[in-house]
Structure 1
């Protein structure tokens, strides 16, 4: 059986060949180099605090309900690494985070260590839910348009860098959906962005409402 690292590295060739996820050769190489590192989750736990990540994302990785700080606990390590590198390069627009993830501020080994720590964390704390009125509509939309990539239970896919969207704060999910629709995220899958543009605001509210109430996927 191939190791997870082998699968991730092999996935780079197929995933980044998709039009919606096109990356420069330099970006592919940098991501591959981080994935090839041997992470140390215990060291990552200490660095998560030392780098002041826990000040916003909380020590347990549960984030905040305000809408601008996601829950990172249990998130796929490869997803965290890719998103941080996209912020560093400017591909993903996140001004508050950008100075914290520069080459001078955050080494690649530290990034790998922190990602391993966050992936290993249990999904705890209170996840901010939506009003509940859009769950039924959101479930229909998710099954039709989202489950094919994000999984039927919102579990995401480490090998293809697709984030877990289950058990995420309602406000954060809604904000990111709006950013994708409005072209403000920067590194969005183009196929997803085109799809989201067909949604009206009520659809986005419903989708965020549904995803926030999805239970955290069981660890294998």
Structure 2
């Protein structure tokens, strides 16, 4: 079945979606938790070369929520995916499929990927997309102050892993955060701090655990202001996202 037809079938099915697997016994609350164990379909997908053309077709299902451009939603309901490292995408999708990350909204769509090769294909396609310039940023009247406070926190504790421009590190599974929506960043960091993101990196949990709500607002405001030179979409109003060259 073509992905476009499958998408229609999924969206029309509504309550007929199969539920996600039971939560895996592992997770940050477990003493045996291994953040990035090299096993299962994840490790198989990481060994494969992704086919962007096939990945574009597979992505049609994802585009219903994350948009064809990979821009996601500024209100933070769905993250910006475009330009994300394949390693990060593969890990997160594999974790959702395996019940290591609780995301009942995404699970039915992630479950449509048939095997490690398709996981590699769609991740390769998403990584090739340029990062949208227009995305959800902190818009409070105190934006300049919040960004300045967030910059200080970021450079002290986040820069080493996520990079000066929010570029992350592909080999270490550290995500790109440049171009990400403020509200999504704030929600995820709050969930990590509060122990609700079960597949979180324990090192990041340690960093975020002491943060107050105000500090999370500030650092999310700063992170959402970051851009990656050479990876951003061209500033052309109303134009569809193009692939990075």
TM-score range, shorter chain: 0.7 to 0.9
Corresponding residue for 1:114?
Answer: 122
From 150, 163, 184, give the equivalent of 2:162. Answer: 150
- Alignment-derived partner of residue 56 in structure 1: 65
* Cα offset, 1:70, TM superposition: 0.6
**Residue 203 of structure 1 aligns with which residue?**
215
Using structure 2 for the length normalisation, give the TM-score.
Answer: 0.75
1:66 to 55, 75, 78: 75
**Deviant stretches of 4+, over 6 Å:** none
Paired with 1:85 and 1:32, the residues of 2 have a C-alpha distance of 9
The one-character-per-residue Cα deviations of 1:6-25 (angstroms, maximum 9, x if unpaired) are xxxxxxxxxxxxx9982586
- Contact 2:58–2:113, Cα closer than 8 Å, also in 1: no
**Cα distance, 1:144 vs structure 2:** 0.5
Whichever of the two has the greater Rg, that structure is 2
Q: How does 1:45-194 map to 2 (within 5 A)?
A: 45-49=56-60, 52-102=61-111, 105-124=113-132, 126-131=134-139, 132=143, 133-194=145-206
Residues 74-128 of structure 1 show CA distances to partners (whole Å, capped at 9, x for unaligned) of 11111100010111111112111122223x6532211111100010011125211
Do 2:150 and 2:222's aligned partners in 1 also have CA atoms closer than 8 Å?
yes
Q: CA deviation at 1:30?
A: 2.8
- Please report the TM-score for the alignment, with normalisation by the length of structure 1: 0.83
CA contact (8 A) 2:151 2:219 kept: yes
On the 8 A contact 1:62/1:125 being kept in 2, the answer is no
Q: Is the 8 A contact 2:42 2:116 kept in 1?
A: no
Query: Matches of residues 17-56 of structure 1 in structure 2 within 5 Å?
Result: 22-23=34-35, 28-49=39-60, 52-56=61-65
The answer as to whether partners of 1:100 and 1:106 remain within 8 angstroms in 2 is no
Question: Do the aligned partners of 2:74 and 2:183 also contact (CA within 8 Å) in 1?
Answer: yes
Q: Structure 1 pair 143/45, CA: closer, same or farther in 2 (3 Å)?
A: same
Aligned partner of 1:6 in structure 2 is none
CA contact 1:91–1:187 (8 Å) conserved in 2: yes
In 1: Cα distance, 2:78 partner to 2:62 partner: 11
Larger proportion of helix: 1
The structure-2 alpha-carbon separation of the partners of 1:191 and 1:120, relative to structure 1 and needing over 3 Å to count, comes to same
Q: Is the 8 A contact 1:155 1:217 kept in 2?
A: no
Task: Report if the CA contact (8 A) 1:87-1:98 is conserved.
Answer: yes
Number of aligned residues:
198
